[in-house]
Structure 1
Amino acid sequence: MNTIPRLFCIVAFAAIASSANAQLNIGLRTIQMKVGIYSIQAEVADSPDLREVGLMNRTSLPTNSGMLFIFEQKAGNCFWMKNTKLPLSIAFIADDGKIVNIEEMQADTTNNHCPKAPIRYALEMNKGWFSERVIVPGNTIQGLPKR
């Protein structure tokens, strides 16, 4: 068998896999959550380094997937979209799982988006995900990890 085509296939596969890993942040822990009848698979950003990177440089996000940010302390944790390539919606969530407020965020901007009350959790989804499903402040996110 000729090794050059085999080597080319291996190199091509490695390049595709590397690109996919960068896109999905394969190393992040994921959890299942629910709001109403909708299931969410969320990557967890629960350290300063993971929260700082968040969804930066991603070009897509599967429909019912998002990123859950978990903070050590309840506070007015604000978000911006620097180096974030896709528009997102963010739900700021109280300790009991109730959504405090939802903000729409434009890609690659530095506008602050802040909770209306101190929070420990924030969930980023594709822009419009919450409004398209009529999920509003006061609705409860189930399955939040306990701190």
Structure 2
Amino acid sequence: MPVSRVFRSVAKVFLALFLVTGLTSGTFAQDDGKRLRTEPLTVESAEKTHRFTVEVAVSAPERSRGLMFREEMAADDGMLFIFEKEGDRYFWMKNTPLPLDIIYIDAAGKIVSIAADTTPFSEQTIPSGAPAKYVLELNAGTSAERGIVVGDTVSSASMTGG
């Protein structure tokens, strides 16, 4: 066997061991306490305005991490995911211990679908069902408690370019 093939095989084994060790030891599976920048967000629902403070996930790494590993979130807090373009969105709850309401929002700020009371740690995909540019995650039950429904309007500085 040529030396380069042996080297590549050994390198793959070490990489696999590093990843497995890191994942099982919790190196990657911890909430590092770092939070993203926050901003106010409002949901206009019927004749009520609901106010939240949301962390804003804009980059791919920020969106990938989302609320993974978070064990608690204040009642009026959430996370807003911003994508460059409107499109079909698919989220999951892998590594997420908090049950959430996942709210899909189109480019105009209109709620197009709500996945209420999602299952913590589930790897089942949760589709938007319609094109969405934004996704808002709130504590599970918040949508029902406050009467937030499909068709309501969501706004924040990041959504309006401000």
Instruction: State the TM-score, normalized to the length of structure 1.
Output: 0.80
- Is structure 2 residue 82 aligned with structure 1 residue 70? yes
Query: Greater shift after overlay, 60-69 or 110-119?
Result: 110-119
Name the CA distance, whole Å, in 2 between partners of 1:120 and 1:98.
10
The match for 1:93 among 97, 105, 117 is 105
The match for 1:53 among 48, 53, 65 is 65
* Higher Rg of the two aligned structures: 2
* Matched letter for residue 51 of structure 1: R
Report deviation, 1:144. Answer: 5.1
* Matched letter for residue 40 of structure 2: Q
Equivalent residue of 1:22, what SS? coil
Instruction: State the TM-score, normalized to the length of structure 2.
Output: 0.73
Task: Map 1:25-36 onto structure 2 (within 5 A).
Answer: 25-26=34-35, 28-36=36-44
- Is structure 2 residue 130 aligned with structure 1 residue 117? yes
Name the CA distance, whole Å, in 2 between partners of 1:140 and 1:86.
25
* Deviation readout 1:43-102 (Å, 9 max, x if unpaired): 011110001100000000100100000111211110000000110001100111110010
Structure-2 residue corresponding to 1:22: 32
Q: Which residues of structure 2 form unaligned runs of 5+?
A: 1-30
Q: Which aligned segments of 4 or more residues in structure 1 are displaced greater than 2 angstroms?
A: none
Equivalenced residue count is 125
Q: Which residues of structure 1 form unaligned runs of 5+?
A: 1-20
Name the CA distance, whole Å, in 2 between partners of 1:109 and 1:115.
16
Equivalent residue of 1:63, what SS? coil
* Matched letter for residue 127 of structure 1: A
Task: Map 1:123-142 onto structure 2 (within 5 A).
Answer: 123-142=136-155
Equivalent residue of 2:135, what SS? strand
